[in-house]
Copies of this chain bind each other. A is one copy, B any other.
């Protein structure tokens, strides 16, 4: 069985858990406690020298890292349900929406980045929260601007795609850090639809074995 090194509150782990569930792929979770620094242990560094989560260990022992690369692999391993449209232009548009979250929000709000802001630049806890909220609001605005008009359950249609995985996981963080969601009602509707699906329910941080 595949092994997913994951941390319950990691939004990149959340994306991958949801994709594995949507595709009906079996996996075992091994927790990497980011707050305790377990990602920097010798044991985990041997799995992933980049010291990030998630990492996916395939059945033959090969290790894949970087959540967006893992999601690309899962879409090849089990093409249905597809995380991206087949048409290259439609695909690029869904990818672009996913990237407003996976590139423009998440890395800038990463634990290690906010940690450095505090350690090296004198930011308080409140400053760190303001930093995270700022990039979420800016990224969510860019995300909304990329969505097609029309009455869909999810961002680009009635099925969740790669961008929805990124969005729903990021919304967990938005709630956690108290982002004012006024103007982002459309995003909350998508979250509500996702939470009707068992794949997302089981991927939620609170549903994880290492949740505390």
Contacts and interface: CB of A to CB of B under 8 A. Distances in A.
A142 B112 CA distance: 15
Given A49-B145, A116-B134, A122-B121, A91 B76 contact: yes
Interface residues of A, number: 49
Given A89-B73, A116-B134, A134-B116, A68 B121 contact: no
Copies in the complex: 2
A207 interface: no
A148 B108 CA distance: 28
B107 A104 contact: yes
Interface in A89-142: 89, 91-93, 95-96, 98-100, 102-104, 106-108, 110, 113, 116-117, 120-123, 127, 130-131, 134-135, 141-142
A64 interface: yes
Interface of A is mostly: helix
A142 B49 contact: yes
A65 interface: yes
A69 interface: yes
Contact of A69 (B50, B99, B106): B99
Contacts of A130: 120
Contacts of A98: 69
A96 B145 contact: no
Nearest to A113: B108
Contact of A66 (B76, B99, B107, B117): B99
A72 B49 contact: no
B116 A121 contact: no
Nearest to A142: B50
B108 A93 contact: no
A10 to B, nearest CB: 14
Given A122-B122, A145-B50, A146-B49, A73 B91 contact: yes
Given A108-B110, A121-B127, 4 more contacts: A49-B146, A64-B96, A66-B99, A66-B103
